[in-house]
Amino acid sequence: MPGDEIGAFRRLLTPEGQRLLASLPPYDAASALSAAEAARRAGHEESLVATALTQSRLRARAVRKFGAQASSLYFTPDGLEQATRPVVAARRAQRFADAGVRRVADLCCGVGGDLPHLAAAAGNGAVGVDRDPLTCAVAAANLEVLGVAERVEIRCAEAAAADLAGIDGVFLDPARRGSRGRTFDPAAYSPPYSFVLELAERVPASAAKLAPGIPHAVLPRGAEAEWVSVDGDLVECAVWFGPLASGVPRRATILPAAATLTGDGTVRAAGGPVGRYLYEPDAAVIRAGLVADVATQLGGHLLDPTIAYVTGDTRANSPFATGYEVLDVLPFSLKRLRTLLRARDVGRLTIKKRGSAIEPETLRRQLRLAGSAEATIVVTRLAGAPTVLVVDPLRDR
């Protein structure tokens, strides 16, 4: 029951709960049962033990997003899934500050990934709104841990019904998961995408965190859509409205390098032959439709007009693409590829693909390599024909 969950979580914040949480070893699924049994033998109630182990498990998962900070924060499964990485949240909050927003509301605030940064950036603090009582309790606990609780008001309410009196900036992160899992239909967000557009009419300084795969066709004119990747992982599409928008329709941002590329998606690049180098654009660049812009920057062209690989004869370093030197180009043939790789004593193989239905793990099994060397191959199309490129990652000079 929700009330039982909240009660158990609040007990975790008591001195007894904190001692139990601190006594748990680093989470390991294989030893979770024995850790639970040891905690029960020490006199802790079952519900408290279960809550502490859940937090231990979630904290272990959260390290990828929150680093060392994860060990002191609190999470729910859905809250962790949707939580914003600190490097993204800090950059987002800065844009609100630069626009002169004084008090910001974070609708669907979840466990509070964005709230500390928004509260620090806005002169009059922030309001966090979420409809789930347990999530609100977790967010409040995190604000206490981070020392910003006095600058944030947590309200348990539906985002669509939130009171925005005194609010001059809004950030909305609609839920994109339902009873059947993740949804890719903007109309199925909670609240739906239509509310995002309505909110921007009511509060011009608005921004929304949407799924990276949102169709370009539904993005409103006059707004800025920014696709963001962190350490190569595409994490979100942020849509900026009113004074938060920069005047460009599309942006790809690469973090933590803080490199940003803007355009309108109208630049076109021709296809052509394989050059000495191959460049794989970052996922944020691809989703923003700015691959041709990167090709122009690199002085190259597309490997195929329908595939997001850039090639050319000029070696270049770019935060927007990963570079490779092309060693071999051959029509796709399992037998020929196996022969070539075995001749080079390859046993460890990185398989990249685009424009091919081949499953990398299936191909790896079919090749049956057992050598000691390492290689990278790219399975793609060239002039419509299945092709394999053997490449070597470029190293910084």
- Measured from the Cβ of residue 77, the count of other Cβ atoms closer than 10 Å reads 11
Query: What does the mean pLDDT of the chain come to?
Result: 94
Q: What is the pLDDT of residues 332-380, one digit of tens each?
A: 999 999 999 999 999 999 999 999 999 999 999 999 999 999 999 999 9
Q: What is the pLDDT of residues 191-214, one digit of tens each?
A: 999 999 999 999 999 999 999 999
Q: What is the pLDDT of residues 277-328, one digit of tens each?
A: 999 999 999 999 999 999 999 999 999 888 999 999 999 999 999 999 999 9
Does the pLDDT of residue 183 top 80, yes or no?
A: no
Does the pLDDT of residue 178 top 70, yes or no?
A: no
**Per-domain residue ranges of the chain:** 2-72, 80-262, 277-393
Among 16, 18, 7, 20, residue whose Cα is nearest residue 49: 20
Integer Cα distance of 224 and 349 in angstroms: 40
Integer Cα distance of 216 and 224 in angstroms: 11
DSSP notation for 153-210: EEEES-GGG---TT--EEEE--B-EETTEE---GGGSBS-HHHHHHHHHHSSSEEEEE
Mean pLDDT on 219-223 = 94
Does the pLDDT of residue 97 top 50, yes or no?
A: yes
- Provide the CA 253 distance to its chain's centre, in angstroms: 12
Mean pLDDT on 52-61 = 96
Q: Which residue blocks in the chain are alpha helix, DSSP H?
A: 2-12, 15-23, 32-41, 46-66, 77-82, 86-98, 115-121, 133-146, 193-202, 283-288, 291-298, 334-343, 360-367
What residue type is assigned to position 124 of the chain? N
Mean pLDDT on 98-118 = 96
Mean pLDDT on 117-126 = 93
Give first-to-last CA distance, the chain, whole Å. Answer: 59
Residue 167 CA: distances (Å) to CA of 93, 174, 206, 351, 360: 15, 19, 11, 50, 50
Structural contact between residues 95 and 240, judged by C-beta atoms closer than 8 angstroms? yes
> Widest CA span of the chain, in angstroms?
71
Q: Name the percent of the chain lying above pLDDT 90.
A: 88
Which strand ranges, in their side-by-side order, compose the sheet holding 233-240?
152-156, 126-130, 104-107, 169-172, 206-210, 233-240, 224-230, 250-255, 259-263
Residue 239 CA: distances (Å) to CA of 79, 209, 220, 315: 21, 7, 9, 34
Q: H helices then E strands: how many in the chain?
A: 13, 18
pTM of the model: 0.92
What residue type is assigned to position 97 of the chain? A
Integer Cα distance of 178 and 90 in angstroms: 28
Predicted local confidence at residue 1, as pLDDT: 40
- Measured from the Cβ of residue 145, the count of other Cβ atoms closer than 10 Å reads 16
Tokens of 151: 């600058």
Domain 80-262 fold is: Rossmann fold (3.40.50)
Q: Residue 327 in 3-state DSSP? A: strand
Structural contact between residues 238 and 171, judged by C-beta atoms closer than 8 angstroms? no
Predicted local confidence at residue 318, as pLDDT: 94
- Measured from the Cβ of residue 394, the count of other Cβ atoms closer than 10 Å reads 16
Integer Cα distance of 306 and 292 in angstroms: 11
Mean pLDDT on 51-64 = 96
Q: Phi and psi for 259 in degrees, rounded to 5? A: -85, 140
Q: What is the pLDDT of residues 129-142, one digit of tens each?
A: 999 999 999 999 99
Does the pLDDT of residue 10 top 60, yes or no?
A: yes
Q: Which residue has the tokens 């973090």?
A: 255
What residue type is assigned to position 55 of the chain? Q
